[in-house]
Amino acid sequence: MTLTPTPAAATPVAVAGRAFPTNRGGLCKKGWTSAELLATPGRLTTPLIRRDGALRPADWEEALALIAARLRAIRAEDGPDAVAVFGGGGLTNEKAYLLGKFARLALGTSRIDYNGRFCMASAAAAGNRAFGIDRGMPFPVTDLDDADTILLLGSNVAATMPPFIGHLAGARAAGGLIVVDPRRSQTAQLTADGGGLHLQPAPGTDLVVLLGLTHIVLAEGLADLDYLEMRTTGFDTVRRSVSAWWPERVQEHTGVPVAQLREVARRLARGRGSYILTGRGVEQHVDGTDTATAAINLALVLGLVGRPGSGYGTLTGQGNGQGGREHGQKCDQLPGYRKIADPADRAAVAAVWGVDPGILPGPGVPAVELLGMLGRRPDGVRALLVHGSNVVVSGPDAGAIRAGLEALDLLVVCDFVLSETAELADVVLPVTQWAEEEGTMTNLEGRILRRRRAIDPPPGVRSELEILADLARRLDAPSVWPTDPAEVFDELARASAGGVADYSGLSHALLDAQLERGEAAHWPYPSGSSGTPRLFADRFGHADGRARLVAVRPRELTSGRAAGELTLITGRLLEHYQSGAQTRRVPELVTAQPRVRAELHPATAARLGIGDGEPVCVRNLRGTVEATALLTEGMRIDTVFLPFHFAGRHCANVLTEAAVDPISAMPEFKRTLVTVEAVTEGALTAQWEAIA
């Protein structure tokens, strides 16, 4: 993306595509309209403090002094873990790094996590378990261009990142694009007319599909036994574990025909270049880590990982979804993907920070558990600092999260608009946005990218680096607290040296020079190296250099659905992003998708007495969502789909459950039991007035 200042215009910059390997100059609707947010009428330019029940303007000195005083008091009364921090996968690497440092040193709290827990956690856990390293794609995205077979599970890239579909063109032309999704999504539609195959399993049965595919590969002699012998461990256990998943049994539990299963297995094994890619649809489950592991097992059994022209990868969900989880926002991690419980890792980072490793807190708790502690007495969280997240819309069981936020003694939100979470805050701090700041991001292929400042921020707006440094000083925090992004990155690089995600050979100046030369920087990038665009060519990240095959099995094989219930799956729309706090402020995007639409199969709608375009209520014991029916034969008859970008009475996550994967702590977003009812507009209004 290229930005050109336009001082005379209402929108301060013009957005244009630029030649770049990953998107080749293409942007989605959200990208083309992103500059409008910089001048949105609701842009915050002054701190807000709640007085007499309302948020009112204040100056920076008053706001920061208030925050520091209340943090000091809460820590003195109930200890540092009474204060928590919640970060975001859209923060720059520099912000994510300094936020983690601030939590551990300035606050002394273990209670920090971020919204990437709702996004990449299962894929990350599976990658670490199998490969000893977590990088979304261990190869450049452009490698996909030469594939003739791509198995894409649980990702609607045509809606979520349209430029990516250009990398699927080769496989599609060869008839080898295979999409696994309960919906006939925009991506699944690309398989029509000879472009590939769409598998439409029952929600939550992707793990069984993958076990069945591995069974077929082994039963038909399609496994790469030499690769398995030389490069992996655990094969015998996995071979035994999939023996019970013959194709007919898989069809019974998933609804995917035997013929399709066999076709997919054979195509993957015999393709000239085969890739397996996973996304949130198969990972946002209580067995998401095991499902991602099953996909990795299939890739390893086929000998795809680490070989030229083939591989396994997972698609990152947020702008800095990869970098955001590498440098200290996760509850158990320090910069460089180091483990906070590891004495050597603690000592290495403490040396960079100039502190005794003994003062660093231990591991905290993951996001869902952290949000469940809000306002709880006596051992819960009394104060919460939120950066780059809108948890009251994006978190599971959103009604309970709202109640927790309202029970806090102090809620501080850094944002550039008054999001639904910021509306509940005691203090709101206005912060710079993407075109107004320097920094770096790390994309899904592990490429570190420079974010360059194109325009000055509005008067009164500050960078989160400045805010954190100011609060650290007021809290008498040890160490130094730079505010220049280049200096923060240099410190991040030193703290990551020797870690899994080693950035120690990089700097802003080097990245700028590489960009001018058309070069890329993929981590690990230790000092003196030229980076690592392709992992696993020679060895995996475990000490013995081998990948681990891990036997997994389904947790349950019955839906437990009562009469009349449907399975709710949630997801994204082309026009909106995450909680919608930004995209619901762009007129063009709102005009295109102004309201929540509940997608239903026409047969399901007929049974329920629902017509296309009519108002409906989607409900369960946790709450009710108001929507408009959209009838489409692309849905399964036992399923309803809601986008999760909307708030209030349209918030899909009011319905989702705060149940999590025991390994990754990923919430169950894709398999929620609900009922759908036809209602009148008047009845809807009456229901919500009664609730209010």
List, for residues 437-467, the tens digit of each pLDDT value: 999 999 999 999 999 999 999 999 999 999 9
How far is the C-alpha of 59 from the C-alpha of 575, rounded, in Å?
A: 36
Phi/psi at 572 (5° precision): -115, 160
247 upstream amide cis, omega within 30 of 0: no
Q: Mean pLDDT throughout 84-107? A: 97
Q: Mean pLDDT throughout 72-90? A: 96
Asked if 449 and 443 touch (Cβ cutoff 8 Å), the reply is yes
Q: Mean pLDDT throughout 77-90? A: 96
How far is the C-alpha of 146 from the C-alpha of 274, rounded, in Å?
A: 9
**Backbone Cα Rg of the chain:** 25
Residue 4 DSSP symbol: E
Helix (H) or strand (E) holding 608: helix 602-608
Mean pLDDT score across all residues of the chain = 92
Question: Which residues have CB under 8 Å from 275's CB, separation 6+?
Answer: 143, 144, 147, 149, 150, 151, 304, 310, 311, 312, 313
Q: Mean pLDDT throughout 680-690? A: 57
Q: Mean pLDDT throughout 514-533? A: 92
Asked if 293 and 129 touch (Cβ cutoff 8 Å), the reply is yes
Entry field: residues in the chain = 692
Beta strands in 210-362 (DSSP E): 232-233, 274-278, 311-314, 333-334, 338-339
How far is the C-alpha of 455 from the C-alpha of 216, rounded, in Å?
A: 56
Question: Which residues have CB under 8 Å from 305's CB, separation 6+?
Answer: 131, 138, 296, 299, 311, 312, 536, 547
Phi/psi at 241 (5° precision): -70, -30
What is the pLDDT confidence band of residue 691, given thresholds at 50, 70 and 90?
Answer: very low
The pLDDT of residue 31 is: 74
* Single pTM value for the model: 0.94
Question: Which residues have CB under 8 Å from 573's CB, separation 6+?
Answer: 159, 593, 643, 645
First to last CA, the chain: 44
What is the pLDDT confidence band of residue 5, given thresholds at 50, 70 and 90?
Answer: low
Q: Which two tokens stand for residue 665?
A: 């702590």
The pLDDT of residue 272 is: 82
Greater confidence (507 vs 692) lies with 507
- Region label for 341, one of left (φ > 0), alpha (ψ between -120 and 50) or beta (otherwise): alpha
The dihedral through the CA atoms of 465, 469, 474, 475 has a sign that is positive
Model pLDDT for residues 108-126, shown as the tens digit of each residue: 999 999 998 998 899 999 9
Per-residue buried b or exposed e for 301-333, using 16+ beta carbons within 10 Å of the residue's own CB: bbbbbbbeebbbbbbbbbbbbbbbbbbbbbbbb
What is the pLDDT confidence band of residue 149, given thresholds at 50, 70 and 90?
Answer: very high
What is the pLDDT confidence band of residue 552, given thresholds at 50, 70 and 90?
Answer: very high
The pLDDT of residue 201 is: 96
Residue 351 in this model has a pLDDT that exceeds 50: yes
Model pLDDT for residues 212-264, shown as the tens digit of each residue: 999 999 999 999 999 999 999 999 999 999 999 999 999 999 999 999 999 99
Alpha-carbon distances, residue 442 vs 191, 318, 524 (angstroms): 30, 10, 12
Model pLDDT for residues 553-612, shown as the tens digit of each residue: 998 755 567 778 999 999 988 788 787 788 788 888 888 888 999 999 999 999 999 999
Asked if 392 and 691 touch (Cβ cutoff 8 Å), the reply is no
Angle at the Cα of 450 from the Cα atoms of 449 and 451, rounded to 5 degrees: 120
The pLDDT of residue 282 is: 92
Residue 146 DSSP symbol: G
